[in-house]
Chains A and B, each alone.
Chain A
Amino acid sequence: MSFLRSSDAIILVILAVAMVLIGLVNPAFWQMSNLFSLLKSNVVIGIMALGVLLVMISGGIDVSFTAFAVAGMYLVVKVMVALDYNGVILPFMSATLIGGLLGLMNAGIIHRFSMIPLIVTLGTASVVRGLVLGLVGTSNVNINKMPTALIEFGKTDLLVLERANGSTYGLTAMVAVYLGLALLLHLVLKHTMIGRSVYAYGADPEAAKRVGFSTGRTMIFVYVTAGALAGFSGLLHSSMIWLANPRDFVGLELDVIAAVVLGGASIFGGRGTVLGTVLGVFILVMIQNSLILMGIDTTWQRVVVGAMLIAAVTVTALRDRRALV
């Protein structure tokens, strides 16, 4: 019964209440097509959030992952177009690798110079975005040039339903990819030594070191995984929207961080669960997408996200303060 008292359970209750309220304002919320599209919007933000969760558990903060996602996506698609290569597995592996290598750069700088992760990742984000836009290109790769294999992959559906008027809509298979990655990260965090070392490091780096964890290895694991997830999610995003835009994801880092904090992770490190993050992402995406359904002007979106972030961090700050006493 410990689950009922965990912060995941509280988030689940908040989610249920929010869903009921939105459904009362506009019953269209409960249409299957809306729920499917909602799940689809979760995928890319969700995969990025898994990486941010990892960084936050380790006590850091990462604002460079959107730049890494752009680097993975745009470089791979550009090379595919240039070589006229059509495939799925190799490109995704390359994007993941690019992200991972960039993550290694973060880990190296943060660990080697013992510098605040926020400032380091601000710097690396600017470096990577500058290089991609300055050297690789600034123009979109549009649907007519996009490799067809990627588009086909992005179109894969798990199940297809038919509307009353005969048109069909489906639940994208990418949801399965996302949930698979989430399950994998959950298992790694809970049941492997390296996963436990992330919690230990986040709670108290000095204690983790004395217990015998290699902190350098933990940092590399954290930032490389976060980068790899970002690179993968970048390419997945472009295969889902049939477009590779090198200026994509600007400002998204704040949404993702908000979602992870909403999911109960603490910025001081040592706290956070995959389930909480998945729920946090769902709440954030649901509220963003439902503003229109509820008849609220879209210009209010930023205010709502900001206010949600402040509310979530206030609650976690109060919780952490109580836990310390």
Chain B
Amino acid sequence: MTSQTNPKAQRSFLTTMLSDETARTNLLLGGICVLVLVAMTAMRPNMFLSSYNFESMAFFMPELGILSIAMMIAMLTGGIDLSIVGVANLAGITAGTLFGMMAGENGSSVLGLGPVALGVCAALIVGLLAGLLNGFLISVLKITPILATLGTGQVFIGMCLVLTGGPAIVGFPAGWNAIGNGKIAGLPVPLLLFVAICIGLSLLLARTSFGLRLKMIGTNPKAAVYAGVRRGQMIVWSYMLTGGLAAMAGILLSARTNAAKSDYGSSYLLQAVLIAVLGGTNPAGGRGNVIGVALALISLTLLSSGFQMMRMSNHLIDFVWGGFLILVIALNSWRRHRRS
């Protein structure tokens, strides 16, 4: 994407090692998951292994997971989407504002299932439109993804502020909150949604021509165009998919917390980049898979929850996340050098 990466070296290596490399990364991530699990259990057996701990993880993990997958999709074409958190909040706030208008004086909590479905649609449409805007800026006006999404992210957060005036929107309908807090057959709804999204996107990327074409654009844009891929159109679709997923994460976030605000989840941006890169996504494009991202998400969530149990300050956890990101970069680079 930028001059510092060496796409040639990566590509020749990629084409030969693609399938094998992915499997190896996933195996490694699975190993890390088990390792973290064992280490944390050894240190705090009673707290860490409690069903309450796992249940709470199952409720808050999906938001970040969906954002990470959204980031991975943007990275597949060699781009990045820095506006996902803005989109997520805008989606939640739009739905909240809509509920406020529909309910009027009575308060939104009395609204039934019809309005809730309408709210979900509105939130998803906001996400798709936001993605359409990003895709338009990137593929038609040829703006670098970093700058385009940096700018639109500001606009989306700004629109959140304009809609709310600053404070959080609180009090969503009960049906809406069930999306974030409910259970079906003993399993948390967010987790079920996340698994469904994982399976759906996994199939989309691995088993359809759409997924193949996306990866082709990231691997070698010129070759993809010569092979008949409509690059501009594909990029717009991929950013719309990213936007839609970000909106989905926004729905879960506002449904779980029963509130929506312009600056919720701002730390998710870095974490989504980290999880995507850790999960074997190549930020220069061409490589990425849902299973890797899901495994990276699980291992980092376990790690985070373990640190919190050891009463480590939240700020030091930020430090660990950043350090982890740099470590992963270093490791990837080292492996690349050794092979090539």
Residues of chain A at the chain B interface (Cβ within 8 Å):
59-61, 109-120, 122-135, 138, 201-202, 204-205, 254, 257-258, 261, 267-269, 297, 299-307, 309-310, 313-314, 317-318, 321
Contact = CB atoms under 8 A, between A and B. Distances in A.
Which of A126, A127, A257 has the most B CB atoms < 10 Å from its CB?
A126
A119 B3 contact: no
Please tell me the size bucket of the interface on B: 35 or more
Q: Is the interface of A mostly helix, strand, loop or mixed?
A: helix
A126 B270 contact: yes
Contact of A61 (B146, B320, B332): B146
Given A109-B329, A120-B329, A317-B142, A127 B322 contact: yes
Contacts of B321: 126, 130
B143 A313 contact: yes
28 contacts: A59-B3, A109-B326, A110-B4, A114-B6, A115-B5, A122-B273, A123-B274, A126-B319, A126-B322, A126-B325, A129-B318, A130-B318, A133-B313, A135-B316, A138-B315, A254-B153, A257-B147, A261-B147, A267-B144, A269-B3, A302-B161, A303-B162, A305-B158, A306-B153, A307-B155, A309-B150, A317-B142, A317-B144
Contacts of A306: 151-158
B158 A301 contact: yes
Contact of A133 (B156, B274, B315): B315
B229 interface: no
Interface string B148-188: 10111111111101100110000000000000000000000
A130 B1 contact: no
Contacts of A128: 322
B4 A116 contact: yes
A130 B317 contact: yes
Contacts of A124: 322, 326
B323 A114 contact: no
Contact of B159 (A135, A297, A303): A303
Contact of B147 (A59, A113, A309): A309
A302 B315 contact: no
Which of B158, B274, B313, B333 has the most A CB atoms < 10 Å from its CB?
B158
Contacts of A130: 315-322
